[in-house]
Amino acid sequence: MKTLRIAGVPEHFNLPWHLCIENEEFDEAGIDLQWTDVPEGTGKLCQMLRDGETDMAVILTEGIIKDIAAGNDSKIVQVYVQSPLIWGIHVGAKSAFKSLEDLQNGRIAISRYGSGSHLMAVVNAKQQGWDISKLEFVIVNTLDGAVEALTNGTADYFMWERFMTKPIVDKGIFRRVTDCPTPWPCFVIAVRNEVLKNNPEAIGTVLDIINQTTEEFKDIPSID
C-alpha cells in the first residue's frame, strides 16, 4: 500500500475526494490517500508543499502559480475545476460602504499573503484602475478571523468564494457588495516534484480515480 498525503480547503469543491476515500476507491488501487483539511487556504497549502507536510494539494490556480514562480518545488499536474471561482466582495453588515467604488481605500482582510483572498484583491484593484501600491492588508488567517475583523472594524472588506460565505450573508453578519470572478480556471492539482518523480504511476492512478468520479458526479442521485 502506497501512502500519499493530499490537502485542500474544506469546501464543497472537494466533496468528490471525500467520496472516493469513503468508498475506498484509492485503497482498492493500492493507495492510502490521506486527506487534510486546511481552512487557512491557499497560502497555507503552498507552505505545506514547500515544507513537505503534504505530497499533493488541491489549490487555487493563482496561488500555486505565484508560489512556483517564487521557488515552490512543485508542479501543476492538471486542472481540477475548469470554471472560474466567483469571489464575493464582502463588508460587515453594518458597514457604511455601499458600493465597490467606496472600497478603494479600504483595509482588506486576507487569510495570508499569497492566498487567493490576497491575490484576488490585487486583481480586483487592477480591474478597477486603483493604485495597488496603496492597498492595505490585514491578515485574518481564516474565515472566522474575517468575520471578527469585519465585525469589529479592524478591516473593511474581505474577498472569499461567494457560496462559502452565503450562510454568513444570510445570517446578516456579512453584506456582499458585488462579485469578482477569476479570469482563469479556479482549482488545480499540484504535486511536489520529488513525489512526482518517485511515484509517477501512483499519482497517475490518483488522477484517474478522481477524474472518473468528477465525470460521473452530476449523475449521483440527489447530489444537487
- Looking at domain 86-181, which of 3.90.79.10, 3.40.190.10, 3.40.980.10, 2.40.37.10 is its CATH number? 3.40.190.10
- 77-107 confidence digits (pLDDT tens): 999 999 998 999 999 999 999 999 999 999 9
Helix (H, G, I), strand (E, B) or coil at 114: coil
Radius of gyration of the chain (CA): 18
pLDDT recorded at residue 177: 98
According to DSSP, the β-strands at 56-60 and 107-110 are unpaired
Phi, psi of 30 (to 5 degrees): 85, 20
Q: What CATH number is given for 2-83+184-219 in this structure?
A: 3.40.190.10
Q: Residue ranges of the domains in the chain? A: 2-83+184-219, 86-181
Same fold, 2-83+184-219 and 86-181: yes
Burial class (CB in 10 A: 0-12, 13-18, 19+), 73: exposed
User: pTM here?
Assistant: 0.80
Q: What is the pLDDT of residues 115-154, one digit of tens each?
A: 889 999 999 999 999 999 999 999 999 999 999 999 999 9
Give the model's pLDDT for residue 218: 72
